[in-house]
């Protein structure tokens, strides 16, 4: 089969047309991938940055952790899935045995594996997936929408981590990539009073503008404008850091009011300093972080939003490319693009 592989440490990836087809072993199904989506982590893996190396990948491996497709083979012991089912995929592999897993916090599993890093992923024509990570799609959802649900779940988890406190609140989003845009879309749907997206890329600021939100560049005086918007409150109520860019967290701490909440989503490439005395102790800011989706509460919430017509994602898609153009697809991630899909069939994914 055709596949995109990270063969060894170092920059770049390999496209191959003769990778062995996967088999449906016990507890697994083989999925024909209709569409897979690239994210910032894929660029990190491509460039082989320190952040990528920290994942401890099992090389060589088929890349890709955001995708959807159709079950074409079912292994022994599989329950609740059959050939023809259309599924999205949870990308994290929880062990089910450690303390977090056994106490309802599997999203922080001590032995977390990730598809496309520790087992073969979705940048391919087929993938063998553990049955536990397959999420059946409603008839109303296309497979391209399914390929975006993993990323959408990150945005939903961030809102959950903020105790859903966006309705009637002043909400600041740092980073207008897909997760930040979905987060802004949901915050608008939930009734945010003020909603600001800070993003350096003019193209992505334009995407945020289309959501009818206020946009700023990091070069603007973000802190003062947030304080001006909120008057005597002294700043925004909740902030979400989606970019992982250096220096952004300090800006958010200054832009929020006392006793506000800051949620971090993006992974910085190096350790970040926090002024504990000024921002946590004296200002009383609550800092929370997320990784992936809360298993499985986030998926339940995400699918409810999808079923209710509250989670529109297709507008994020700007490019569809075949697997052999993966280098160009990665380059687009820092250019004029929203969500970039790899479509093995080289065309719009089947519904």
**Residue 231: how many CB atoms within 10 A of its CB?**
8
pLDDT band at 348 (very low <50, low <70, confident <90, very high): low
Domains of the chain in sequence order? 3-136+313-342 (3.90.180.10), 155-289 (3.40.50.720)
Residue showing tokens 């001006």: 228
Mean per-residue pLDDT of the chain: 96
For residue 149, count other CB atoms closer than 10 A to its CB. Answer: 26
pLDDT of residue 282: 97
pLDDT tens for each residue of 97-156: 999 999 999 999 999 999 999 999 999 999 999 999 999 999 999 999 999 999 999 999
Residue 65 confidence (pLDDT) above 60: yes
Task: Give the pLDDT confidence score for residue 28 in this predicted structure.
Answer: 98
191-248 pLDDT, tens digit per residue, is 999 999 999 999 999 999 999 999 999 999 999 999 999 999 999 999 999 999 988 9
Report residue 346's pLDDT band, with 50, 70 and 90 as the boundaries. low
Alpha carbon distance 195, 214 (integer Å):
6
Give the pLDDT band (50/70/90) at residue 345. Answer: confident
The pLDDT of residue 351 is above 90: no
pTM: 0.95
The whole-number average pLDDT for the span 6-15 is 97
Per-residue model confidence as pLDDT tens digits over 237-255: 999 999 999 889 999 999 9
Q: Quick one: pLDDT at residue 270?
A: 85
- CB distance 71 to 29 below 8 Å: yes
347, pLDDT greater than 60: no
Mean pLDDT of 261-269: 93
Q: Residue 118: exposed, middle, or buried by beta-carbon count in 10 A (0-12, 13-18, 19+)? A: middle
pLDDT at 244: 92
- pLDDT over 70 (residue 349): no
pLDDT at 38: 97
Q: What is the pLDDT of residues 273-332, one digit of tens each?
A: 999 999 999 999 999 999 999 999 999 999 999 999 999 999 999 999 999 999 999 999
Contact status, residue 28 vs residue 84, Cβ threshold 8 Å: no
> Quick one: how far is CA 180 from the chain centroid?
9
Q: How far is CA 126 from each of CA 3, 24, 30, 33, 72, rounded to the nearest angstrom?
A: 9, 11, 7, 5, 9
């Amino acid at each position: 089969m055709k596949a995109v592989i990270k063969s060894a440490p170092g920059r770049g990836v390999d496209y191959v047309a003769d990778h062995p087809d996967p088999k449906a072993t016990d507890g697994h199904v083989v999925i024909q991938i209709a569409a897979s989506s690239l994210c910032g982590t894929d660029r990190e893996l491509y460039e082989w940055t320190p952040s990528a190396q920290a994942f401890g990948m099992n090389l060589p491996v088929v890349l890709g952790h955001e995708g959807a497709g159709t079950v074409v083979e079912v292994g022994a012991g599989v329950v609740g899935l059959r050939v023809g089912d259309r599924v999205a995929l949870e990308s994290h592999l929880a062990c089910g045995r450690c303390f977090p897993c056994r106490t309802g916090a599997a999203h922080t599993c001590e032995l977390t594996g990730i598809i496309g890093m520790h087992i073969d992923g979705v940048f391919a024509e087929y993938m063998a997936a553990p049955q536990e990570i397959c999420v059946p799609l409603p008839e109303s959802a296309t497979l391209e929408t399914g390929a975006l649900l993993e990323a959408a779940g990150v945005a939903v988890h961030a809102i959950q981590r903020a105790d859903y406190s966006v309705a009637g609140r002043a909400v600041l989003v740092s980073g207008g990539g897909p997760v930040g845009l979905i987060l802004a879309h949901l915050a608008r749907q939930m009734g945010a009073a003020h909603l600001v997206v800070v993003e350096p890329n003019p193209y992505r600021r334009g995407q945020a503008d289309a959501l009818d939100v206020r946009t700023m560049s990091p070069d603007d005086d973000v802190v003062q404008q947030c304080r001006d918007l909120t008057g005597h409150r002294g700043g925004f109520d909740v902030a979400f850091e989606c970019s992982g860019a250096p220096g952004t967290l300090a800006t958010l701490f200054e832009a929020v009011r006392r006793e506000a909440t800051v949620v971090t989503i993006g992974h910085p490439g190096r350790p970040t300093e926090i002024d504990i005395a000024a921002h946590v102790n004296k200002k009383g800011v609550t800092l929370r972080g997320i990784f992936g989706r809360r298993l499985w509460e986030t998926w339940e919430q995400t699918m409810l939003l999808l079923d209710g017509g509250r989670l529109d994602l297709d507008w994020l898609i700007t490019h569809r490319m075949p697997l052999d153009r993966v280098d160009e697809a990665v380059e687009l991630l820092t250019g004029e693009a929203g969500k970039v899909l790899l479509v093995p069939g080289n065309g719009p994914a089947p519904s």
